[in-house]
Every structure is written in C-alpha cells, then in structure tokens.
Structure 1
C-alpha cells in the first residue's frame, strides 16, 4: 500500500469512527419528521426522547463540526434547534451537576475576558427543583471567573445546558451552528397591549427567520386577513395594506389611513397587474384551496415580489403535502426560498417565496 492509499484508508477509518451527540428540538407533534430529516442526511441515527416528545438526544455518525454544517446547509423544515453535547454526567443533585458542567465550560477555554457568551439553560418536564431561569442564574455565578460578558443576543459563543431528572448535558457552540440562536429555538416576543391575535408572532418570526425587513416593502395584500394580526403588523411597518376577508377585521384597524379593507372572498376580488410587492396569507383552509386562491391572485404581485404563506398540515403525510404544494407554487412562477415550521407555527409550516 503506497503513501496515498495509506492516508486515504486512514481518512476512511476516521470517518467511520467519527461520532457526535446533539440535543435536537422540534414541534412535539412533528418530531418524527425532524428525525426523518436527520436520517435522510446521515443514514443511521440513534435517538431517544429527553422530554415531552419534542426534545431528542441524537447520536450521529459524523464529527460535531461536519454534522452541524451538514444540518445547517440542508435547511431542515421540522428540525428547529440543535445544541452539541460535549459534556454529560448522570446524577440527581442539580447543584452538583451544574457545578461540574461549569467546570467543563471553564476548562474548555472558549469563553473569557472580552468574549460575549449567551447562557441557555433548559430542563426536561420531569426534572423537579429550581426553574430554568434560576438554574441559569446559578450557572452565570459559577462562570464569573471566566470574566466573559454574558449577553442575551449577539453572542460569540452559546453555552447550552440541559438538565433532566437523571443527569445533565452541556456544550459550547457558535450561534450559527445551533440553527437558531434562541434557547431551544423558542423565539419569544412580548405580547403587546391591544394585540389582535397571536398570529402576529408568526409573521414577526418569519421576518426574523427569513432575514426580511417588512418595512422595506411598499404595498401588501393580506389574503384571509381577519381579525387582522398580520395586517396590523404590516401597517405598523408603514406599508399600504389591502386586507381581503369576508369575515370582520378588528374595529381598531378600520380607520387607519393606509388600510383598504375588501370584505369578500379572495376568489371574488380583481386587482391590477403588479399592484403589490408583498403578498401574505395565513388562512385555516385546506392547502389545495389556499394554493388556488393565492395563485389566482399572483398577477397582482410584481416580479421580484415576496409571498409569505402558511400551509396547514391537515393529514398524516406532511412531507408529501409540502412537496405537492411547493410544486404547485413553482409551476405558478413562485420560487420557494425557504420552508420552515417556525416556533409559532402549530400544525403548519411557513413558506417564503419570490415571484420570478
């Protein structure tokens, strides 16, 4: 065997022996599909449930760095968040376990003076004792010796800790390697006084997840707008909004100057060509009917315009449904940029598309 063959064989053995461990999070009712996304990427996946069907401990047959990069590059729909497991201990005393995890973090040498670090502490449903925020305070105190700056956003490193009734898991990673820089991918927004519906959070999260700036658009049409959660956000961003729905919009919106309210079914409305540069739709209709309505109005969306649409996953084969809906939209001159089950989605996903 020559030198090249020897080196190639060693690389092959290294790949075969490589293994990494992650805690993965998804919507509890769709965690099985997140696991399927991992199986399609890695083939063999060993997993066990840590909490409430939505938090999984997963072993992958690649190095941590390679696995995190492959997952991020695949842009999974259902997998919401990952965090590496570089330290693991069994036990029931939370204080002792947290102390050992802190010693691991300090010993890793990644956080120190001048470094911004985010501490993300979660616990399983069956782990009693202190709350996750209390545990986070303990951990921050234990890590004071590092002289790092502890932040909630804009971190250089994320220290992730997950506590169960029987042990603790910890890891240190770059924010971009976790799929989401929010703890567990749980994107939290503060509910505002007078907020019309929680649906507003879905559009706020879509804006953040897809790297959009809603205030950069000029005119939007909101299909199936009532009671007005998405319309209210677009108006707040300064857009001219045409809201279409046979149901009533909230009275607080009706006197706003940038709103045009058409109280009809969207299939009965006629718009001018290229009238809007943003189309949004969040309706509790069957996906096929929603696709028909949206595609029937695409002439009103200018080329290069954006569409943000939710798809209700109404049966037991969501992957096939998503594939069918995306194919229908792409046949209608919409190029899908991202498909994602956001934290604020329930039995649905959100599509971000551009008209070409």
Structure 2
C-alpha cells in the first residue's frame, strides 16, 4: 500500500471540524504542517486514488478542496523558479503517462501575507506552455480530464495532478468568485448561486418558491430572474426593485405564514431559508415547512453557527440540526461554502411520505 499526502483547504473557523471529519473517514490519517489558516497537509497509508475516493464518498461538510501533493519544489524567488515548476509539472505528467491531446487545466494559489515574486497568472502561463509544447497536452479550463494544482507558499511550492471530481470543487481552493452585477441586491446572492453549483441543482423551470427571511431580497431576485414566482416572507421591506409581477411579499413572520399556508393547502416547489436564527431553531422550522413541499420539491437552508469555544463546538450543533432534519426529509446534504461565513448550507430533498400524507389528510378534513 502506497502512502499519499494531500493538501486540504477549509474555512479557518472550521479547521478543527474539517480535521475531525477527515479522521472519521480515515482514522489512520496523520496531520502535517499547517501552511496557513484553513490550509494544512495530511498523510495517509492509502494511495492517492483510494484516499480521494474515500473522501469523495464520505461527503465531508467542511473540506472545500483537496489535491494530492506529488512534488514539493524548493524556490528561491529567482527567475529560475518558473522553469523549475514547469519542468516538475512535465515530469509528473510523464510519470502519469499523460498523452498528447489529454485535456488539463492549471489552478494556482498564493498564500496570503507572504511576499511572492510571481503572481498566479505567471505560474499558470509557464506550466501551460510547458505541458502543451513539450507533451502536446491540451489546456481546457471548462472540461479538463485532470487538474494541475499548485500552491505557492514561502519559498516552496506544492504541486499535484488529480481528476476534477477528486478535488471536491472545480475552483482553486474551493474559492468560487462571482462578478458583482449592477442589479445585485446583496452579497447573499453569491451564497445561493454557489449552493446551486455545489449541490448540482437546476432550479425548476416554473413553479412557486418560498423565500423565508427574504429582506432585503437577494435570494428573491435570483429566483425571480430564473422565471419563478416568489413569495417573499419577511416583516421588513424589500428592495424597491423587487416589487414586480411574479413577487408576492408577505409582511409577517415565517411561523404565521406556515399556519396560513396550511389552512389554504398550499404547496411549493422550492423553499429557501437564510434567516438569522439559531441552527436548531432553523432546523425545527424547516422540519415544519417540509409539510408545504411538493413530493418532488426541495429546500435550501443556512444554519447559523456560533464561534467555537472550549465548551461550545459548532460541529456538534450541526450534527444535532441534521439529525432533526432527517426526521422530515429522506435526503439531507450539508456543505460549508466559500460564501458561507459562520454557517453551513443544507440541501433538503424528498419530504418523508408520512409528512406529506399527514398534511394532505389534515387539509382534506
């Protein structure tokens, strides 16, 4: 069995939780050097493919990105550095028997707070040029067969080749950036957009969506733009630009709306919740709202978390919230996204039949 080393990226706030869930996936893992907050090395007795498969199957919440470290290149901040990086990338491609025409992309990162002679563009440009001219490989950013990952630390670079799915994210370090648009209402929109990507979700083509805690209306704007009818639930006012056909604003609390919707036997294709509330309260609320979902409907909710202390472990709170949600939904997935701060995002699918049937029977009566 061959040993392997991986570089892990997570939120610095949840580094302890990320390490704990990795140890649960592979109890024999050893933690190595921490290169920066939320960026650390691990070593395994498994080979690269086996460990990557275990992590992918384990569906970690807090690990945003990982890649196998196949080379550690010492750098001296001289013009020779880029040539050395490129040569090592070519050497690794040959070791893996990469053939002319194989599609690849390069993802380069610099550790913040450390002075660097080169930027990420220069690193990527040098490696791409070497792999294409020397081996005839084909750069393809949108559909690569494998990714060349490079993290440039202090006088040292970490390099590795991997399949895109093994990295857990299509973006370097799991850091998904979006361009700010003139019509944007709030940065919370990025959170919803990232959740749709990470969970590989397509919004319904038609239907009615419930947006709980909608104000000022960032999520509602994204949902309206997708052509959906949106009921925004919030006592506070929404951005004036949202008051267009397709939007209904219920100026009240979620619990009040739930009682009203049950009396009217209303169903929704998607229910979203980004309210500022305790994670367990949010889980209880979304468990109740499962009764309003169509059988094929889904829900997205954020779970707001406290900062970790010696006595308070946010991950324990997350596990309790997920346990509660699993009583009402047969499919529950959680991820700590790049655009999440002190929170995690949860996808909820397939409201349990007993929930839907109970709601339907009560409505018929």
Same-fold call, TM cutoff 0.5: yes
Residue 107 of structure 2, aligned match among 96, 100, 120: 120
Work out whether residues 186 and 218 of structure 2, in 8 Å CA contact, stay in contact via their aligned partners in 1.
yes
Give the Cα separation in 1 of the matches to 2:215 and 2:136: 50
In structure 2, C-alpha distance between the alignment counterparts of 1:232 and 1:128, rounded to whole Å: 40
Q: How many residues align?
A: 337
- Residue 319 of structure 1: which of 305, 315, 318 is its match? 315
Specify the SS of the correspondent of 1:79: coil
Q: Aligned pair 1:282/2:274, yes or no?
A: yes
1:94-120 CA-to-partner distances (Å, cap 9, x unmatched) read 643332232232232354532221111
Shift of 1:327: 1.8
Which residue of structure 2 aligns with residue 45 of structure 1?
Answer: 30
Instruction: Compute the TM-score of the two structures, normalised by the length of structure 2.
Output: 0.87
Contact 1:310 1:349 in 2 (8 A): yes
1:138 aligns with 2:126: yes
Alpha-carbon offset, residue 305 of structure 1:
1.3
What CA distance in whole angstroms lies between the structure 1 residues aligned with 2:141 and 2:177?
A: 12
Structure 1 counterpart SS, 2:245: coil
TM-align CA RMSD: 1.7
Pairing partner for 1:298 from 290, 305, 316: 290
Contact 1:97-1:167 at 8 Å conserved across structures: no
Which has the larger displacement, 304-313 or 100-109?
A: 100-109
Q: Which residue of 2 aligns with 1:213?
A: 202
CA separation of 1:157 and 1:292: change in aligned 2, threshold 3 A: closer
- Rate the CA distance shift 1:218–1:34 in 2: closer, same or farther, 3 A: same
- Structure 1 spans left out of the alignment, 5+ residues: 1-13
* Separation of aligned partners in 1, 2:30 and 2:305: 25
**1:328 equivalenced with 2:324 (yes/no):** yes
Residue number among 163, 182, 192 corresponding to 2:152 in the alignment: 163
TM-score (norm 1): 0.90
**CA distance 1:131–1:327, shift in 2 (3 Å):** same
CA deviation map 1:140-170 (0-9, x unaligned): 2333313322232211111111111121111
State the distance in 2 between where 1:253 and 1:267 align: 23
